[in-house]
Amino acid sequence: MDKSVNNKAWFLVLPVLFLVAFSAVIPLMTVVNYSVQDTFGNNQFFWVGLEWFEEMLQSDRMWNALGRQAIFSAVILAIEVPLGILVALCMPKRGVWVSVCLVLMALPLLIPWNVVGTIWQIFGREDIGLLGYTLNMLGISYNYTQSSISAWITVVVMDVWHWTSLVALLAYAGLQSIPDAYYQAAKIDQANRWKVFRYIELPKMQGVLMIAILLRFMDSFMIYTEPFVVTGGGPGNATTFLSIDLVKMALGQFDLGPAAAFSLMYFLVVMLISWVFYTVMTNLDKRGGA
């Protein structure tokens, strides 16, 4: 029996489509327009083609910022993913302390990015900051405004403090979804703790870990507010990541054409690497489930 299909429900989607077009598609088209044109002012533009893209590809400034960004994201993933898994494994699975741990783990995630930067900017100061003052009292040279190593350590530790909770909560959700029968079978087989983790817990967490890695990569690769508030991209260009360099180019120097080309290449790099991550981890998940 044929039933008539009512397509009027699609009208409910139109507000969302208009909102997405206004907030994403239209600004993107504006950036594309700037990336292939130049202006001498007075709102007069002329076509330059791919000139700005070629200039950016030959720019040592962009490649240096990309290198710093790649190193930062790699360090963040190498620290936060194992640390988040370890924290999740140490969290209780039952009882009153479960709620307490979940609330404590969620607290850093509720703090706005600019507030996190301000907290660590004050915390690391050598005159009034608890961290900076204590380290210098112990004879450890620490000044994130003058030392590149200190600035990098501060930015990395700040990000680890802020976002490891996300990985831990996702990993904990994966652990909670494992049926007790698996642990009972492992106990009968007299499997040690490492084997339980290797053959039961880790495979069951692959799905949520894939989400955690993708989220943390995309966020770390586009990080801006926290390091900008703490170091401003310094000392020198030590912590000038891609996003900070892009903002300096677009707003500080008002080079709209090169900045537009830069932002499009930035966007494509994030999309490409995220797609590679997703493809590799999906294939690993399929092999593990086969």
Per-residue pLDDT tens over the stretch 154-199: 999 999 999 999 999 999 999 998 898 999 999 898 889 999 999 9
Summarize pLDDT for 57-79 with one digit per residue, the tens.
898 988 999 999 999 999 999 99
The predicted pLDDT at position 2 comes to: 53
The predicted pLDDT at position 170 comes to: 93
Q: Is 143 within the bounds of a domain?
A: yes
The predicted pLDDT at position 285 comes to: 67
- Structural domain boundaries enclosing 193: 56-289
Q: How many domains does the chain have?
A: 1
**Rounded Cα distance, 148 and 133, in Å:** 18
Paired with 46 in beta bridges are: 38
The predicted pLDDT at position 148 comes to: 92
Q: How many CB atoms lie within 10 A of CB 91?
A: 19
Q: Is 174 within the bounds of a domain?
A: yes
Q: For the purposes of burial, counting CB atoms within 10 Å of the CB of 69, is it exposed (0-12), middle (13-18) or buried (19 or more)?
A: buried
The predicted pLDDT at position 111 comes to: 92
Q: Is 22 within the bounds of a domain?
A: no
Please report the sign of the dihedral spanned by the C-alpha atoms of residue 170, residue 114, residue 65, residue 71. Answer: negative
Contact 259, 32 (CB under 8 A): no
The predicted pLDDT at position 64 comes to: 93
The predicted pLDDT at position 75 comes to: 96
Q: Is 19 within the bounds of a domain?
A: no
The predicted pLDDT at position 255 comes to: 83
Q: Is 135 within the bounds of a domain?
A: yes
Which residues in the chain show pLDDT less than 70?
1-6, 41, 285, 288-290
Q: Is 46 within the bounds of a domain?
A: no
Burial call 224-239: b when 16+ CB within 10 Å, e when fewer = bbbbbbbbebbbebbb
Q: Is 34 within the bounds of a domain?
A: no
The CATH number linked to 248 is 1.10.3720.10
Q: Is 121 within the bounds of a domain?
A: yes
